Chain A
Amino acid sequence: MNYAIRCHQLVKRYDSRPPVEAVRGLDLEVQVGECFGLLGPNGAGKTTTIEILEGLLAPTSGEVEILGRRWGHGQDDAIRQRIGISLQETRLSEKLTVRETLTLFRSFYRQGLSPDEAIRSVSLQEKAHARVGKLSGGQQQRLAVAAALVGDPELIFLDEPTTGLDPQSRRQLWDIIRELGARGRTILLTTHYMEEAERLCDRVAIVDQGRVIALGSPAELIAQLGGDHVIEFSVKDSPPACTHWNDLPGVRAARQEEETCVLEVAEPHVVLPALLDEIRRSGQELTRLSIRHASLEDVFVRLTGRHLRDEGEN
């Protein structure tokens, strides 16, 4: 197997008071050509992890291999020539135009795209001569991605590429990332949008409190729930005690989220009639009911809400 990224037992500890362990023994293997997502809430250690992989931050311990090489062994330039990076928040010079910015970044690489090709790859042709300060948030983010692409990298790191963008800009960026994947580039992206990971990534690692708590394709992770549908309902007045719904045949897991009961089920057409009968029999009045496909969100809630968080708090 050909790996673009491998890291083993990565640890990053900040010597503050008290010391903070942002990453606590993280293992990762990203194959050449795949789009891999690091998925997790804010503060999970995603950015620390990706910056260690990018060679911008030194790990406290652990091993990192990027495209078969290691940081700090005299090969840093060789790695940098072959990777492209978009940081979480960079404010590029507002006084330069899009094209000037990309020409500048292009000049750092021995080979790569022409600035105009890079502009085309993120569909900013109309803004090529506009100052960076005049671009919208989405356009600036596309420019940041173009700056990551201008060295024609084999491996691309995108840290929270769509955070803070409107839905349309987000969709435009998704198209750009899919196009990169189609051209055989390896992509590592971080996100806290579950939907983004589901749509873009071949595989995701769910990260929480500095560790990988689940790994696999989005479909596999959802399948691990044991049911790929979710029924959500609320009843009038008395908030439902949800746990007893575990006993209903066909329900794989039941949990309560505020006023709502959430049931993970494999076959909603079997569970639903039984559920409605049961509610009617107990004399309760249904105020809301919906059925949807299970998502990575449900995986995350299942994993962290029920197991990891609780243990962490004890």
Chain B
Amino acid sequence: MQRSSDSTTEPRRYWAFGQLVLARMREFYREPEALFWVYGFPLLMTLALGIAFRERPRERSRVDVVQGVGASQVAATLEQSNFEVFVRDSESCVQRLRTGRTDVVVRSDGRENPTYQLIVSASRPESLLARDQVNEALQLAAGRRDVVAVSTEELTVPGSRYIDFLVPGLLGMGIMGGGLWGVGFVTVDMRIRKLLKRFLATPMRRADFLAALIVSRMVFLVPEVAVLLLFSWLVFGVSIAGSVWTVLLLVLIGSLCFAGIGLLVASRAKTMEAVSGLMNLVMLPMWVLSGIFFSSERFPEFLHPFIKVLPLTALIDALRAVMLEGMSLIGLMPQVLLLIGWGSVTFLVALWIFRWN
């Protein structure tokens, strides 16, 4: 049997691993919806949260003064101290306080040396704050003298704001979501299309295929992260205190880790519904516990050891340490090793139990 002209062995010309990565990337960038979800969605989220938590000029506290003798005098005093003041009848003052439209209600007994009653809503911090401010203003107006001098300085340097805290959290969340959905959905889709079985029918090496899924995921992530970082730098002035290369390395290791987890989650699932459920099961504890939006230190002490070994916690902690505190890679070794551990163990287990048919 004669073989055809191209039979000369040219291993470099057709490199299976490279072709698999290339195929995945083509499938990805030829899908405009996927491009939006991967690149557009994190940007919109950052923008929305950045605006919601932006640094605002301090809001004036709102004070309602109950109608009656002396009310206008109290109102004048408080207006001078820069409060937003309304004078109303007693009932509507209390009603407004209850529904959060005013922060504190002042009632004067109207005598020559008046005593004041302040009504607060104790569950609202701004109400308690307003009470103290109103108290201060009324005492000063009545002639109180302070006995010690106190000065206040406000800290607004970049790195201390909520947006600075938030961006590494969103970055971590994006890497987790991208890794799990990106690898998991594609894998189950190929299983449903019997494409996995078709590949199995060739001499393709299985590890090549699975590694290509993970590596292509890492490649997509670089622009995703770059866009998010650039955007938050340009719009909100979020900067990186440490090395950009360390951030990049953490991003790659994080994506490797979550792609491995995604592969494991998708290794047996036969339907999209099954894989979606599993993904959410895996991601939900990390969304809640790993400190995307607020520090995970807020959870009770006994949960901390568990929270610390979650891969997302490790990734976000490490990203914050680099971006906010400028920590070097050496100091981040525990987190880096934890991420590599999660990634390699899940990859190997996935390779072992993977369902091709």
| Interface residue ranges, A against B (CB under 8 Å) | 54-57, 77, 80-81, 85, 87, 89-93, 95-96, 100, 103-114, 117, 131, 147, 151-152, 154, 184-185
Whether B109 sits at the interface, judged by CB under 8 Å, is no
- Give residues of chain B (301-357) contacting chain A, Cβ–Cβ below 8 Å: 357
Interface segment, one of B19-27, B51-59, B129-137: B19-27
CB-nearest residue of chain B to A186:
B1
Contact A56 B193 (CB under 8 A): no
**Chain A hits for B9, CB < 8 A:** 110-111
Also in contact, A92 and B195, with CB within 8 A (given A109-B202, A111-B9, A152-B3): yes
- Complex alpha-carbon distance, A77 and B16, angstroms: 14
CB-nearest residue of chain B to A94:
B27
**Chain A hits for B194, CB < 8 A:** 87, 89-91
CB-nearest residue of chain A to B204:
A108
Interface centre among B4, B14, B19, B31 (most CB of A within 10 A): B14
Contact B19 A103 (CB under 8 A): yes
Could you name 10 residue pairs across A and B whose Cβ atoms are closer than 8 Å? A85-B201, A87-B197, A90-B195, A90-B197, A92-B198, A93-B27, A103-B19, A104-B23, A111-B9, A152-B7
Whether B33 sits at the interface, judged by CB under 8 Å, is no
**Chain B hits for A89, CB < 8 A:** 194
- Complex alpha-carbon distance, A95 and B31, angstroms: 8
- Complex alpha-carbon distance, A114 and B199, angstroms: 18
Nearest chain B CB to A184 CB, angstrom units: 5
Contact A96 B7 (CB under 8 A): no
Nearest chain A CB to B145 CB, angstrom units: 78
Given contacts A93-B195, A95-B31, A147-B198, 16 further A-B contacts (CB under 8 A): A77-B203, A87-B194, A87-B201, A89-B194, A90-B193, A90-B194, A107-B14, A107-B20, A108-B202, A108-B203, A109-B14, A110-B203, A117-B4, A117-B5, A117-B6, A154-B1
**Chain A hits for B195, CB < 8 A:** 90-93
Whether B124 sits at the interface, judged by CB under 8 Å, is no
CB-CB contacts of B42-82 with A at 8 A, as 1s and 0s?
00000000000000000000000000000000000000000
Q: Identify which of B5, B23, B204, B357 contacts A93 (C-beta below 8 A).
A: B23
**Chain B hits for A114, CB < 8 A:** 6
Contact B15 A107 (CB under 8 A): yes
Contact B30 A112 (CB under 8 A): no
Contact B19 A104 (CB under 8 A): yes
Contact A100 B26 (CB under 8 A): yes
Interface size counted on chain B using CB atoms at 8 A: 33
Q: Identify which of B4, B193, B198, B357 contacts A113 (C-beta below 8 A).
A: B4
CB-nearest residue of chain A to B208:
A108
- Complex alpha-carbon distance, A105 and B16, angstroms: 8
Q: Identify which of A80, A91, A93, A106 contacts B201 (C-beta below 8 A).
A: A80
**Chain A hits for B113, CB < 8 A:** none
Interface centre among A80, A106, A111 (most CB of B within 10 A): A111
- Complex alpha-carbon distance, A81 and B204, angstroms: 9
CB-nearest residue of chain B to A77:
B203
Nearest chain A CB to B218 CB, angstrom units: 20
Whether B160 sits at the interface, judged by CB under 8 Å, is no
